[in-house]
Structure 1
Amino acid sequence: MPATHRRPATRGHSLVETMIALGIASVAAGLALPGWGEASERRRVEGAAAELETHFAHARSQAVAMNRTLRLHFVSDRCYVVHTGGSSTACSCADDGSASCSSGAQVLQVVQWSADTPVRVLSNRSSIGFDALKGTVTPTATVKIVGAGGTTLHNVINIMGRVRSCAPEPGLPGHTTC
């Protein structure tokens, strides 16, 4: 029987095949990158809006539980404080992330974002009071949560302390338009 020579199976890819695959991957990544940044900002804004909504609900329930009026004071677009005491300006934020109060007010919670955080909180009211007896909120407010690229969500709190979120025109998918 004649000896047959078998060629060993080739494994791997040629340089041309590898370069084509890298080129296609680079184009796909380049197309996906702008969408990734927008999605990332949207998630940051939605997260900050959800956190603020939670703080509204917590402050309202704490007011009833403690049987005293609590306030949520927007100190700046990067800081807000939940505190006891009737004065709307009794508390302020420090650069280290802490808060201090005067006039016998006590800090219950402070939320402060650093200057490099791409989210700001803008309210049409400087302070919101949570009534202990009725569980109501005075005054009602609209709080805008704004990302660095302009993505915006509004948290609207009504007199009963209920919060609804909406997005200004052109809106965000999954959110009603204000």
Structure 2
Amino acid sequence: MHKGSAAARGFTLIETMATVAVAGIVMTAAVPSLHGYVDQQRLKGIAGELSSDLQHARSEALLRNEGVRVTFNGNACYVVHTGAADRCRCDANGIGRCDEGPAPLKTVALPAAQGIALHANVRSVLFAPEHGTASPMATLRLTGPQGRTLQHTVNLMGRVRSCAAHGAMAGYAAC
């Protein structure tokens, strides 16, 4: 065994600074893609909720033996309700309000801070109690802050088909 001074082990200041600089560069490159991932997950979450609400409205129509509607108010809110389409709307706070008659079954207000907009080609979709058919057919598009769009199409049979409007997205085929 050799006696003598052992060489000091560890990192020099320059090695540590270089490691921190490289880590900073990697993190700076990762932040935008992480932000995009978070936006995509929010969009998928809201699209999943809308699809589920459409299917739930159809089931409720069959269960209650009365028509159930999903009424769209602007690009930031929708109300699931019974009764006429013009009876229910979202107020300024995103709360569903119905005039005379049944109360809303569910109201969904899209958070403005998330930058997701809902575009519907119809004002309201009615699910009939006899067979759960939908009238009229509808195309609903949810667009995220980075331009990604998920689309739901409600056919006459009341079925919902979902797809990604600008190429495939995880969990969604391209339209």
User: Does the 8 A contact of 1:91 with 1:105 survive in 2?
Assistant: no
1:141 aligns with 2:138: yes
**Equivalent residue, structure 1, for 2:162:** 165
CA-CA distance at 1:68 after TM superposition: 0.6
1:26-105 matches, cutoff 5 A: 26-85=24-83, 87-105=84-102
CA-CA distance at 1:116 after TM superposition: 1.7
Distance 2:97 2:170 in 1: 39
CA-CA distance at 1:103 after TM superposition: 3.4
User: Could you tell me which of 104, 117, 122 is aligned with 1:125?
Assistant: 122
Distance 1:174 1:118 in 2: 21
Question: Secondary structure of the residue that 1:33 maps to in structure 2?
Answer: helix
Bigger mean CA offset, 103-112 vs 56-65: 103-112
**Equivalent residue, structure 2, for 1:24:** 22
Distance 1:169 1:27 in 2: 31
Distance 1:46 1:64 in 2: 27
Distance 1:169 1:119 in 2: 16
The TM-score normalised by the length of structure 1 is 0.89
**Equivalent residue, structure 1, for 2:106:** 109
Distance 2:19 2:76 in 1: 45
> Among the aligned pairs, what percent are the same residue?
35
Larger radius of gyration: 1
When the two chains are superposed, the root-mean-square deviation of aligned CA atoms in Å is 1.8
Q: Which runs of 5+ in 1 are unaligned?
A: none
Q: Which runs of 5+ in 2 are unaligned?
A: none
Question: Secondary structure of the residue that 2:78 maps to in structure 1?
Answer: strand
Distance 1:117 1:173 in 2: 20
**Count of residues in correspondence between the two structures:** 174
The letter for the 2-side match of 1:140 is M
CA-CA distance at 1:133 after TM superposition: 1.0
1:176 aligns with 2:173: yes
CA-CA distance at 1:177 after TM superposition: 2.1
The letter for the 2-side match of 1:84 is T
Divergent runs of 4+, >6 A:
none
CA-CA distance at 1:10 after TM superposition: 3.5
CA-CA distance at 1:169 after TM superposition: 3.1
CA-CA distance at 1:155 after TM superposition: 0.7
User: Does the 8 A contact of 1:73 with 1:81 survive in 2?
Assistant: yes
Distance 1:102 1:147 in 2: 32
Distance 1:146 1:23 in 2: 37
CA-CA distance at 1:5 after TM superposition: 3.4
User: Does the 8 A contact of 2:148 with 2:166 survive in 1?
Assistant: no
The letter for the 1-side match of 2:72 is F
Distance 1:159 1:91 in 2: 23
